[in-house]
Copies of this chain bind each other. A is one copy, B any other.
């Protein structure tokens, strides 16, 4: 079965890692949100892309989920001494990624090309594609500070401002990166990873042609990033609440209404089964929390089973 996984940062990367342990590079393509990308200290930084690649390469920090394992902070300490901006934590190992990416982008290489070469250097065998090679910026409208670029909201203000809405600047002119539409077109199933629906998954759907391509895929399955009313990581639940929606697996399923054929949510939220089923999608409860590498593989295995079920209409397990 050929799978395209749509992923944001930490949560998405974990499921992608599980899938990559089960599927060959021919069977899995990862399409990653780039709406969080930004320029900082003259560097082009792509947080979700790096989190997915570092995770697949076995280079990710297992404690934080983002950044590199064995990271050092010598440059950042000196930057602090010089009064430079240190709100975005750039480790020494991680810096090399941004320096070389920035150099290559300035030299005219597309982000997808740079990402492919970085993956080759890091030993990542599965194709990891940015959703677009163009600039696409997620902005967050907040009560306290008005419009904020995503990383200002997410890191600098630690997701504290109250969210009123989102805007995807550049969405109109962004085209899918090479390979994205082809991979979706060839996929038996699209898996929407447990990433933030508002700011990790919606941006991918906003890129011209991606939504339509996904609609053409017979199986479209999402895993809820909200368990027991809370996001495992990040501000997804807080965003729902601030936008007047009770955060829950049901809210996520409703968020994706019309986009999915199947929905996976946590056993803890089984009270929503009838409401979610009423949305006209096939639903299943599973243990979705991924604490260990084994959890990633177990969930990935069940996601694939569920995709097969959606595909055939016959329950295999």
Contacts and interface: CB of A to CB of B under 8 A. Distances in A.
Contacts of A78: 92-93, 95-97
A102 interface: yes
Interface string A99-125: 110110010000000000110011000
Contacts of A103: 41-42, 84-85
The A contact surface, by secondary structure, is: helix
Interface stretch (A8-16, A68-76, A157-165, A297-305): A68-76
A278 interface: no
A82 interface: yes
B42 A83 contact: no
A289 interface: no
A156 to B, nearest CB: 15
Interface string A58-84: 000000000000001011111101111
| Interface-central residue, A75, A95, A121, by most chain B CB under 10 Å | A75
A121 B82 contact: yes
A76 B96 CA distance: 7
A43 interface: yes
Given A42-B42, A42-B102, A103-B41, A96 B118 contact: no
Contacts of A42: 42-43, 99, 102-103, 106
A105 to B, nearest CB: 9
Contacts of A96: 74-79, 81-82, 84
Contacts of A72: 72, 74, 92
Nearest to A40: B103
A84 B98 CA distance: 11
Contacts of A79: 96, 99-100
A100 B85 CA distance: 8
A42 B81 CA distance: 21
A230 B186 CA distance: 68
Nearest to A100: B84
Contact of A95 (B75, B85, B118): B75
Nearest to A99: B41
Given A74-B93, A78-B95, 8 more contacts: A43-B99, A78-B93, A78-B96, A82-B97, A82-B100, A82-B121, A83-B117, A84-B103
Interface of A: 41-43, 72, 74-79, 81-85, 92-93, 95-97, 99-100, 102-103, 106, 117-118, 121-122
